[in-house]
Chain A
Amino acid sequence: MSTATAQKRGFGAAIWDYLTTVDHKKIAHLYLVSGGLFFLIGGLEALLIRIQLIKPSNDFVSAGFYNELLTMHGTTMIFLAAMPLIFALLNAVVPLQIGARDVAFPFLNSLGFWLFLFGGIILNCGWFLGGAPDAGWTAYAPLSAVSPGHGVDFYVLGLQISGAGTLIGGINFLVTIINMRAPGMTYMRMPLFTWTAFVTSSLILFAFPALTVGLFLLMFDRLFGSGFFNASMGGNSVIWEHLFWIFGHPEVYILILPAFGVFSDVLSTFSKKRLFGYTAMVFATTLIGFLGFMVWAHHMFTTGLGPAANSIFAIATMAIAVPTGIKIFNWLFTLWGGSITINSAMLWALAFIPTFTIGGTTGVMLAAAAADYQYHDTYFVVAHFHYVIVGGVVFGLFCGIHYWWPKMFGKILNETLGKITFWTFFLGFHLTFFIQHFLGLMGMPRRYWTYLPNQELDTGNLISTIGAFLMAIGTIVFIINVIYTSVKGHKVSGDPWDGRTLEWSIPSPPPHYNFKQTPLVRGLDPLWIEKMEGRKGITPAEPLDDIHMPNPSILPFIMSLGLFIAGFGFIYQVDNLAFLWVVILGMGITLGAMFVRSIKDDLGHHIHKEDLEEGADQ
């Protein structure tokens, strides 16, 4: 739809349309494109890391540049690639799955995106302005507090701004799911993807403010001379570790839960079966969300919190294996006896189960506090979290993107190219990271610039680098697939997979009001129920009537731009106090835009019944 409008109204109008849009489907496109670009940048950084480590005593990149690469790889992949790509799926799918015409706060939805994007740009500006952040993605104090140059300042301001955007997005989805469900869509009839979106959003709400505070403290230490992490002023750098991981551990569940939701929907659709143990899946999801807040100190076993704290956090961590195990078995039982279709989306889902199980197993190993003294900060940890984050989140994103691509763009991604993507990426992934478990057990520390020859680390690192290139090839094939499909792909119907949930009951791509008539939901897998009773579509819950829709607005873009400008002011006022004027200018723009938003009524507009009836004839 977007390309068609663009051709009709010219390129500038299309740009303006996306700058001002409050339509959740277009915001999903924005998240997908920008998250995808950051994924490529983060992937490039990963390749440079692996090239540096291809042989011992290599000097492909300098040690300082290597620090910047590993910091930016982690930060980019977590905050600027995985988070927005998850928000892309949430925006594209959740309102459709609950039968809503838009999200609860369309304006804030747009604001969340622009804050994320401008934050991401600030973070990456470091590359061009004298050095990127170089204190690791965890930015442990006191290193991060004293790291010279402006690198870590870009980290602090960039994450602060994009984190605010994420928090806004989380609140938006919580309220959307609670208040905007169609008649009959009770909590226990929501598709599992919507359930995971709900739990993830509540984790965002309660986890991100801890990061906000941590970043403020670091910012004040670096830019205004406070002493939170400065031992000579009585400061305590362990505070950073706590605040960072109180955020950071829920963050990994924020990432993985929506991926669990994707797999649940995909496995159910392509097994032609209702999800096995739906109630247990919901229970497991909320339990994981709950326990996710109780385990942050397992990242700090070697900090010296004492045996009592270590034991408690070790046990809590191991407990998470129980609900996760429930999920693994339910996915297997969903497949059991199903009429299984294997396509690209399904391949990712099938590959996920064993891959993630390996990641979960090493997770339980790491949770054993006594043993962790051996694993801590080695490649064993690197292997573990790549097994859960790539094997879980990235597989989930690929799976979800292949599954919902026809819903978002009206065309199915090419199957052959999709399978090539899968096999190269899947094999490349295991080649890269499986061997790293052993490199870690042999004592190779993470984040080191290089290693010495003849320590039995050479072959393993070579294999790992080869695997990384295979993953890169898989990603390139995926990009080719996207281009090929948009040029050559055929239009498909609204329901190409013979789907079970509400999003497949409307055209692909959906009209901007989503549902002409609000659907009436009569059970779990509502579309499947109607199909089983011989109907073609969903029963409407209301007669055809005028539809109320929100107005587009440029204000979210301007608010975010203001903070972007103020961010640079904060960073450079250390060198020259005149930059405080830049802070005032930027904050003025943002507060001014908030003021305009507050005093100008925005009542939205109506799509009239007659126009809707015309649309039906086309």
Chain B
Amino acid sequence: MSSDQTLNPETLPEQPERATLEGKNKFLGFWFFLGGETVLFASLFGTYLALNNATNDGPGAEELFGLELVFIMTMLLLTSSLTSVYAMYHMKNNSFSKMQLWLGITVLLGLGFLGCELYEFYHYIHGEGFTLRSSAFGSAFYTLVGFHGGHVTFGLLWIVTLMVRNAKRGLNLYNAPKFYIASLYWHFIDVVWVFIFTVVYLMGVI
């Protein structure tokens, strides 16, 4: 019973991401990791809420934030979450090329989001003179939103690496859990953004 045979069955089981013990461990371990990440972002949100009025006579939320760009960013990221669901749907149907296609669209949407965020930061820093060092509010804003942006960047690198690495060999029970947890991570990033959109931008402007 070599690993090759067990990991490359004729037909994939219904839940290829949890068909092996390694897959089950990855699945559960990653959910726990996301639990820890939740505490991490909760701490950052708490810090932001404590400091969001500490503008130190610099620009505040109402002057800075415009909802148009943020709306586009939100749509990009929410859609990318949906496309990653499609990718996982095709993974379970064992149609590798369709999964790659939808993951590719997910990455493009994520890149679009990241581009908008970079533009936004650039605009704040050079247009408004609002930086990490402007005020405690600036520190909290860039740390919270920047941590999220860092997660997006890491997620993109991760998904692209998986796509390139497995482009030629297709799906098997060894890489199915890897694709699956990458998509879980992507959903998590999306959920965090929903909270950032609400707590930072909506509550900041309204």
Contact = CB atoms under 8 A, between A and B. Distances in A.
A279 interface: no
A412 B28 CA distance: 38
A552 interface: no
Chain B CB within 10 A, most for which of A105, A178, A225, A235: A235
Contacts of B139: 217, 220-221, 226-228, 233, 235
A187 B6 CA distance: 30
B35 interface: yes
B24 A236 contact: no
A569 B32 CA distance: 31
B54 A236 contact: yes
A180 B21 CA distance: 9
A234 B36 contact: no
Interface stretch (B39-47, B67-75, B101-109, B120-128): B39-47
Interface in A430-481: none
B54 A234 contact: yes
B59 to A, nearest CB: 13
Nearest to A108: B29
A602 B105 CA distance: 29
A213 interface: yes
Contacts of A225: 132-133
A233 B3 contact: no
Given A179-B21, A217-B143, A603-B3, A236 B36 contact: no
A224 B142 CA distance: 12
Contacts of B39: 206-207, 209-210
Contact of B40 (A171, A212, A598): A212
A606 B65 CA distance: 58
A213 B44 contact: yes
Contacts of B142: 226
A304 interface: no
A357 interface: no
B33 A171 contact: yes
B25 interface: yes
Interface in B47-74: 47, 50-51, 54-56
Contacts of A575: none
Contacts of A178: 28
Contacts of B143: 216-217, 220, 226, 228
A171 B24 CA distance: 14
A152 interface: no
Contact of A226 (B32, B55, B132): B132
A174 interface: yes
A213 B137 contact: no
Contacts of A603: 3, 7, 174
B183 interface: no
Contacts of B158: 598
Contacts of B33: 171
Interface residues of A, number: 45
Nearest to A605: B3
Interface string A36-50: 000000000000000
Instruction: Name B's interface SS.
Output: helix
B175 to A, nearest CB: 9
Contacts of B46: 239, 242
Instruction: Give the bracket for the number of chain B residues in contact with chain A.
Output: 35 or more
Contacts of A205: 32, 35-36
Nearest to A601: B174
Interface in A103-145: 104-105
Contacts of B202: none
B135 interface: yes
Nearest to B139: A226
A179 B28 contact: yes
A367 B43 CA distance: 25
Nearest to B56: A234
B162 interface: yes
A214 B43 contact: yes
A226 B54 CA distance: 13
Contact of A224 (B40, B132, B140): B132
B136 interface: yes
Interface in A226-272: 226-228, 230, 232-236, 239, 242-243, 246
A197 B46 CA distance: 30
Given A214-B43, A234-B135, A246-B43, A175 B29 contact: yes
A172 B133 CA distance: 38
Given A220-B139, A603-B174, A171 B43 contact: no
B149 to A, nearest CB: 14
Contacts of B55: 234
B133 A598 contact: no
Nearest to B132: A226
Given A209-B39, A234-B51, A234-B55, A175 B28 contact: yes
A88 B90 CA distance: 43
Nearest to B24: A179
A599 B56 contact: no
B43 A243 contact: yes
B165 A227 contact: no
Interface in B148-204: 158, 161-162, 165, 174, 178
A239 B50 contact: yes
B136 A230 contact: yes
Given A104-B25, A235-B136, A603-B3, 9 more contacts: A171-B32, A179-B21, A212-B40, A220-B132, A221-B139, A227-B133, A233-B133, A239-B51, A598-B162
Interface of A: 104-105, 167, 171-172, 174-175, 178-180, 205-210, 212-214, 216-217, 220-221, 224-228, 230, 232-236, 239, 242-243, 246, 546, 595, 598-599, 601, 603-604
15 contacts: A104-B25, A175-B28, A179-B24, A205-B36, A206-B36, A212-B40, A220-B139, A224-B133, A227-B136, A227-B138, A233-B54, A233-B133, A236-B50, A598-B162, A601-B174
Q: Which 4 pairs, one residue from A and one from B, show the smallest C-beta to C-beta distance?
A: A234-B54, A226-B139, A213-B43, A209-B40
Interface of B: 1, 3, 7, 21, 24-25, 28-29, 32-33, 35-37, 39-40, 43-44, 46-47, 50-51, 54-56, 132-140, 142-143, 158, 161-162, 165, 174, 178
